[in-house]
Chains A and B, each alone.
Chain A
Amino acid sequence: MSDGAVRSPFLALEDVKTHFPVTQGFLFRRRTGAVKAVDGVSLAIQRGEVLGLVGESGCGKSTLSRTIMQLLRASGGSIRLEGRDLCAVSMKQIRRERINFQMIFQDPYASLNPRMTVYDTIKEAIRTRHPHVGGRAMIRRVSSLMDKVGLAPKLMRKYPHEFSGGQRQRIAIARALAPEPKLILADEPVSALDVSIQSQILNLLAKLTRELGLTMLFISHDLGVVKYISHRIAVMYLGRIVEIGSPREIMEKPLHPYTQALVSAIPFPDPRLERTRRRMVLEGDPPSPMDPPGGCPFHPRCPFAEAACAREVPALKEYLPDRPAACIRIPEIHPGIGSRE
C-alpha cells in the first residue's frame, strides 16, 4: 500500500485470528485442540473499494467475514473500521454500531424471516437508523429501497416464499442497505443462485457500490465471479491470505502457485480455446485446519514445493509493487520477479 501512510485504510485487519476450541467431555470440558479457521490475516480495504476474497470451501472465508461482522469474536489481532478497533469494543457497544457494517448472506432461502413481509423486513432494518420514521414516510423509504434493488414496490406486502431466489437476494440486499451502512460484507451472495441470475445480482451489487460509494468485501469461491466485481482480489488458503492483486494482474500473472491453480481452473467461454486450456490440477484435499501442515500451508499440494517450504510459514511480501504474495519460491517460478533474501 504505497499511500498507506497518507490515508489510513477504511477497514484494516491486522493479524486477525479466529480459532475454535475443540473440546471433549460433557460437564467438565477439556480443550483438546483448536481449529484455526482464520490464522493471521492482514488486509486493508480503502473507502469505496470492492475487495474480492477467493478461496476454496473451508479455507476460512466465511469465518473471516463473520469475525469482521463481530458475529464471531476474533481470538487475536485487530479489526479497525475507520481507525477504531472493533475487537476492543464491548458487545453492547458493537450492537449500537452494527448499522455501519452489514452483511449479505449466501442462501436467500434461509436469510429472510419467513413470517415477515418484505415491508416488515425492510422497515425493521430502516428503524435501526431512523427509529422514529413511520407511516407514509416509511412506505416511501421502503419503496425507494425496493426500487433501488430492482423490485417492484407494489410487492412489499408479500412474503419471502412468494419470491424467486434472485428476488429474495434482492430483498436481502435491500435489508442490508436499509441501515445505510458504510461497509458491506457479501458472503457468497450469488453462489446459491442460477448462473443467469448471478450476473443480474452482480450487476446490481456493482451498481449499488458505485452509486452509494459503499465499501465491500465480496467473498466467493469462484474466481470468475470475483474478478468481475472487484477492484482488488485477495486469495485465501487455509486461514491465510496468500496473494493480493488487481483482477487483471491476478488473472494474467498469478504469482502464487495456488492462485495459478485457481486461475487455470476457470473455463474459457470459447470451446476451441477451451480445448487448448492447460489446467494445473492440484493433488489431494486441502489439509484440515485442525492439524495444518508445518511451514507453508500449501506445500503438501504445491508442485513447486521444496524442503524449505516445510520449515516456516512464508510472510506476505511485495514481489511486485502492490502485489504481495506469500511464497518463497516466487523468484524461481517467475524468473525476474523479486529476489530471494
Chain B
Amino acid sequence: MIRTTLSPSPDDLPVPKLEELERGSSLWKDAWRRLRQNRLALIALALFTVIAIVCVLGPFMTPYGYEEQRLAYGAQGPTWEHWMGTDALGRDQLTRIMHGGRISLSVGFMATAVSLVIGVLYGATSAYIGGRTDAVMMRFVDILYAMPFTIFVILLTVIFGRSLYLIFIAIGAVEWLTMARIVRGQVLTLKQQEFIEAAVSLGYSNGRIILRHLIPNVVGPIIVYATLTVPAVMLLEAVLSFLGLGVQPPMASWGVLINEGKDAMTVYPWLLFFPALFFSLTLFSLNFLGDGLRDALDPKSSKD
C-alpha cells in the first residue's frame, strides 16, 4: 500500500527542543547589525533622539511659558536666565524653540504617516491589480503631480480655514504621490518573484499574500523613504509658515521662528541662529539616518 500521507505517527520522531534550535538571523537583524557599524548614522540617530526628547520633555522643565510675554526683558541675548535669549516680546527663546520643535516634529511625522498610509495602499493596490486599472490609477497620480502645491494649500486654507490638522493633511496629500510610485514599483517587481507564485499555488488568500508575503518585503524601501520624507515635510511646513499659511502666533514652529528671526537678523542674531541650528541639526540627522537605513536594509545599493 502506498503511503500518501506525510503525517508522522506522534511518537516516532524526537521533537527538537527550543534551546537546541539554531537561531537564524533575520534580514532585520542583519540590517540592524550593519546600521550599528555605520558611525555617522548612529550619531544621527542619537542626535535626533536627544533633540526629540528635549522638545517633548523640555517645556515641562522650563519656568517660562511659550506665550508668556515679559516686555521688560525684551530681546535679550543669551543669559543664565534665558539660555538662548528672549525675543522682542520678552518670551524665552529656548521654550519657544522646544514648543516649535513639538509642532515641527509632529507635522513631520503626522504628515509622513498620512502619506505612508495613502501611498502604500494606493501603490500596492495599483500594482497588485495591474493592467488597465494600474494605468488609470497611475495617470491620476501624474495629474496630481502636475498641480502646483502652494496653490493647492492656499485653496485648502480658503475652504477649510487654518488649522494644524489641515497642514498634516495638505502636506500628506502631496507627499503620498512619490510613496505610491515607490511602493508600486516594488510590488511590481515582487509580483514576478517565484515565492509569490508559490504562495498562490499553495492557495493562500489574497489578503494573506499581501500581508505576509508582499508587504514584509517592501517595508525596507518604505522605511527609508519615510525617514527621508520627514525632513522634507518639515521643510514644506516651514515654507507654508513663511508664507503665513502655517502655524499661527502665539504658537510657533521652527519655520515660524526662523521667519521671525530673519526679520530681526541684524539686531538680534540669536533669534535666527538658535532655531536655525535646531532645525538644520534635525534635518541633517534625519537625512543621515535615512541614508544609513538605506545602506543597512539594501546592502547591494551601497557603494562599499
Contact = CB atoms under 8 A, between A and B. Distances in A.
Interface of A: 26-27, 29, 48, 66, 69, 71, 94-99, 101-103, 105-107, 110-118, 124-125, 128, 130, 136-137, 139-141, 143-145, 147-148, 153-159, 161-162, 172, 175, 177-180, 182, 211-213
B202 A128 contact: yes
A211 B15 contact: no
12 contacts: A26-B135, A27-B132, A111-B193, A115-B26, A141-B8, A148-B6, A155-B24, A161-B27, A162-B25, A172-B198, A177-B6, A182-B4
A106 to B, nearest CB: 7
B15 A136 contact: yes
A114 B13 CA distance: 28
Given A113-B213, A115-B26, A106 B194 contact: yes
Contacts of B207: none
Closest 10 CB pairs of A and B: A213-B2, A158-B24, A98-B203, A111-B194, A144-B8, A115-B216, A105-B194, A110-B194, A95-B203, A159-B24
Contact of B6 (A105, A161, A180): A180
Contacts, number: 133
Contacts of A155: 21-22, 24
B15 A113 contact: no
A29 B26 CA distance: 44
Nearest to B24: A158
A140 B21 contact: no
Contacts of A162: 24-25
Contacts of A213: 2-4
Nearest to B192: A110
Nearest to B20: A154
A128 B132 contact: no
Contacts of B27: 114-115, 159, 161
Interface residues of B, number: 39
B200 interface: yes
Nearest to B8: A144
Interface centre among B20, B194, B205 (most CB of A within 10 A): B194
Contacts of B8: 140-141, 144
Contacts of A143: 13-16
Interface centre among A94, A137, A140 (most CB of B within 10 A): A140
A145 B6 contact: yes
B15 A140 contact: yes
Given A105-B197, A211-B3, A157 B23 contact: yes
Contacts of A156: 16, 21
Contacts of A96: 203
B201 A103 contact: yes
A157 to B, nearest CB: 5
B203 A128 contact: yes
Contacts of A157: 21-24
Contacts of A140: 8, 10, 13, 15
Contact of B202 (A26, A124, A139, A145): A124
B22 to A, nearest CB: 6
B195 interface: yes
B217 interface: yes
Given A147-B13, A156-B21, A157-B24, A27 B217 contact: no
B25 to A, nearest CB: 7
B301 interface: no
A71 B4 contact: no
